[in-house]
Chains A and B, each alone.
Chain A
């Protein structure tokens, strides 16, 4: 069981985490944050393995991972 928390206000929607996620559990949200970016969002959290790839490639430190 893993839990990924995304700080959506820090996210700039660059999409690096979406590309590097090996289980493809992330995608852009259909809403925008206060800066006007579409933040990354978990689309199927049950498939997340907690590999921390998203945390590693995130240039804005948006991710917190619990396991």
Chain B
């Protein structure tokens, strides 16, 4: 019998610290599979952010760096400028990218830095205990908004990928989700496309991935996936927001 599918060799064979049912693991595996398929294990450099994903340098068997909170695009810029032949990506959550790291991300896109941001969006701060994030939905209950997010007090959810897609330096922006096998395959294609564009020196690329946080949403893993498709996807519609030609910004039609 032949091996059809096994754990990618870019991942260390150790247990992950994520909660049961957290889709961070799926995204890690997809990145590892793409690096494996493109045979870039020796050339890839990842930058870990602060948040639940901050230990991912222990999981990937590639060169990794860690950055201060929100500063992963700045660190990735430095790595890419010194070693332009390498594949440089950042792995950031919504608290990291959309709150403290907004300036770094936008200016990396404005400069057209040849890096890829993998943006994991679950609308909540996971590691610190479920506080309200800039991406939390209106009326969403979190530990710092126990009666639901009040948009008059705390503003509206930030649409980071749309914002980055508007910048001329950004050549590819796509929002996907990891809720079922079909959408997981789509996400993998999006990551691969972003990496390929980066290697062809096209410019800044971002893939936003809608994921779950069962623990802090207070749901079981299956309910969390359902909630993601019903609520989170309604606020953040999936699809290609910008393609390599630099036009056709779809954004949402609401």
Contact = CB atoms under 8 A, between A and B. Distances in A.
B4 A20 contact: no
Interface in A17-67: 19-20, 35, 37, 50, 52-53, 55-61, 63-67
A61 B4 contact: no
Contact of A59 (B1, B6, B11, B24): B24
Best-surrounded residue of B16, B21, B23, B185 (most CB of chain A within 10 A): B21
Nearest to B182: A56
Given A15-B221, A53-B181, A59 B23 contact: yes
B222 A57 contact: no
B15 A15 contact: no
A16 B4 contact: no
Contacts of B225: 16
B4 A50 contact: yes
Given A37-B20, A59-B18, A59-B23, A20 B180 contact: yes
Given A14-B221, A59-B25, A64-B7, A1 B1 contact: yes
Contacts of A53: 181
B7 A66 contact: no
Nearest to B6: A64
Main secondary structure of the interface of A (DSSP, over half): loop
A56 B221 contact: no
A50 B11 CA distance: 23
Nearest to B11: A61
B15 A60 contact: yes
A3 B1 contact: yes
A61 B7 contact: yes
Interface of A: 1-3, 9-10, 12-16, 19-20, 35, 37, 50, 52-53, 55-61, 63-67
6 A-B pairs with least C-beta separation: A59-B25, A14-B21, A12-B20, A14-B20, A66-B1, A14-B221
